[in-house]
Chain A
Amino acid sequence: MSPSNHKPDLEESINVSEVHGSVVREAAACAREKRIVDNGIEPVSLWAFVACGIVLLIAGGVLGGGGSLFAYGVTFRPGYVRAPAGGAEDTGPVAKAAMAAYQSKGSKIFSAKCSGCHGADAKGNGSTYPSLAGSAYVNGETERFSMIILNGLQGPVSDGKVYGVMPPQGIGMAPEDLAGIMTYMRNNFGNTKGDVVTMEMAKAAIEISATRKKAGSSCSSEELTADHVKPLPGAALDPGMMLDPITLQPAKAP
């Protein structure tokens, strides 16, 4: 107890030195704190207003730069065709060799229409789906091959075995699709014919298919052997010729 305890003018209920001592011991950091005063009324300087005003103008410009903000026609344009970007002329898609161009179309058709049954490796399953790898129908005459794709097949296949029924795939198939899938199959999965089935040939195949005697029904091996063991008409195409990969027409010289 320090002598300050004996000051006469303090109420007796508070022991000053005790309270003070505990503040010093336990609340030194709190005791030296200052009180918060928040009622400052300093004027805001003009440059702050000017800066904020400039920023609000910029923000208005940003919003205004959007044009009419609810005009969905600006972002959603029906029938929009990409225009060449500024700064360079649009040279279109890069040309590809004929073999690669036909095959890239064909591989998409293969995974959409064929691989579901014949498998991604085209090996079939040995019981209901025959293998396309090394198949005499695939690697043989192109007209016979095209008739199977367009109209489907019932009965024995080239190895003489009877698998399941192959449904027709020709509905809605464009000539470039048929040409692509045939070229792709004849040059993949161990098949190495090395020739391109052209669009012209595929167009002829679709015409032949429409004028068959039993048009609309599946092919049988008898019909194939009787009517279709011949190559499709049309000029052969040099597999190395550069083509536009979209249209499959000869590419313009760059």
Chain B
Amino acid sequence: MPTPPANPNIPANLPVDSVCEHLPSEERERQIFWKLRWRTGCSQLRHFVTKARLRTSLVVGLSLLFWCGLFAMFYGGFDFIIKNVGPPGVAYHAQTVQFIFTLFFASLQVMLIFSSGIILYGGLYSSVEINFLLTLPVRDSRLVNYRFQEAVFFSSWGFFLLASPMMVAYGLVVSAPWYYFAQLPGLMLSFAYIPCALGAIACLLLISRLPKLRGIVVGTAALVIISLAYLSIWQTLSLSHDESVNATWFSETFRRFEFTRGEWLPSTWLSNGLLDAARPYNQDPNDLPWLESGKYLVVLVSNALLLHVIVLWLGNRLFRKSYCSLHSRQARESRTGSVWIDRIANGFLFPLPKQTRLLIIKDLRLFRRDPAQWSQFLIFFGLLLLYFANLDRFRQQRADLSAQTWVNIVSFLNLAVVGLILSTFTTRFIYPLISLEGKRFWILGRLPVERDTILWGKFLFAAGGSWLPCAGLVLTSDLVLNVSGMVVSVHQATCLMLCIGLSGMAVGLGAMMPNFQEQSPSKIAAGFGGTLNLVLSALYILAVVVLTALPCHFILLASSGGVASQMLKAGTLAAWLGVGLVSSLVLACLVTIVPLRSGLRAFRRLEV
């Protein structure tokens, strides 16, 4: 690139130092940014405590519940290992626990790399705040550090929530000494920092070197890792009918996952550090557990610090250049293709009035052209499909009554999971629909369309759009589990009730409590109304599933000649199932009609 000669009119002798000496030093800059973070954090916290109490208590309460549940599960699991494999210090104990730890931490390590890289990308390259900060005299490394801290926080909180109950449970089960618990925060923090830093480095290098291929590279890497993990799990679980979980299987599985125990992996350092800290001191002055675990802590901390320096160094060198080159790409022309989808949808919707049809197709187009919506839909439902497709292990012991009971329970749990996932979607995408129409209401409000038609259009779009994939998923689960025809029918009926009820609730509550100030659907969903919708949806799912699952369960036991058949007659059980279905139907009508009616009333009176 040719640099033009200096302009003779420019006062070239203005000393750089005269400006630089007024600019904050690195230390001062650090303080200013911490002050910014402190102030925004306090303000956000005040907001949570004063204006979002329901959501805050819900998040805190559910997190605590989740933590306690995990703790109980891990406590039971480690207790089982102690009793059946041996206490700490025994070779098999160390081997078994190391297998669990390394596999667990290695998986989380990969997830941390991806999540921190993606979060850092969002924070550094596509954020309005960074646009603003780049116009201030801030060092590039500070900007990268500022965003990297957020990436570490947001990507690793899940790790802490998952790993801390496991580590605490292990420490308590093996009666670990005090320094085990003292080292836990350091071990966890330094471990989490390493994959996060690796993700950040990958993000900076990728955007700097291959800005155009970033999506393809990340997608391909994720696909390869998922395929490998899937293959490993498949091979581990794909036992033949006469095989069972025995010593050979364990040795084979242990060998297969050897790659997770590589000496150069931070997950291995963490696992070894935990095992060393937890094992008893055997009075050998040459083998001090606290010192051995301390060595792993030092290795983790020093690597974390080194990677931190590398992130900042790379940030300083690459960030601004890569930011500019990324924002110099030619804007992609958005094409409005796929008209055939609209034609098909129009064909399906032919019984509806034309105006309702047009409104539904408009919402369908918006959904289709917003990757934030369909990609999340695809990821969650794709993962569920993957899980359902791997359920056939239960079919191997079909003669066993307890296995059949489990099949039945799992099939209903799957139904509940589909419902819960659907409720997050109705809260995230359907609930904010009316609020988002606020700014566009001058179009809809002036059209010769009844307001009720608009709301019915949203309801039909939500109910119809959710029913097809949910029914497909539930059917897949049932077919793979090979449940009875009666259960399949009950599941399909329940699924329909869930889709209608959840859609009615989301549309109705969305119309009752619109938020026209906010333009971000996620912020609308995170408000009081959205949280209420989520809680009510969860309760509704629970009620409907329990009402139908319990009679089905007892019918199964009775038909298999179990204990229940002696206590309950077939007629009574059938009546119970009927009552359950009718009650679910009544409940579905209630949660659909009551919010929708209130929503319609509110929507008719709406003034924007």
Task: Check if A and B associate.
Answer: no
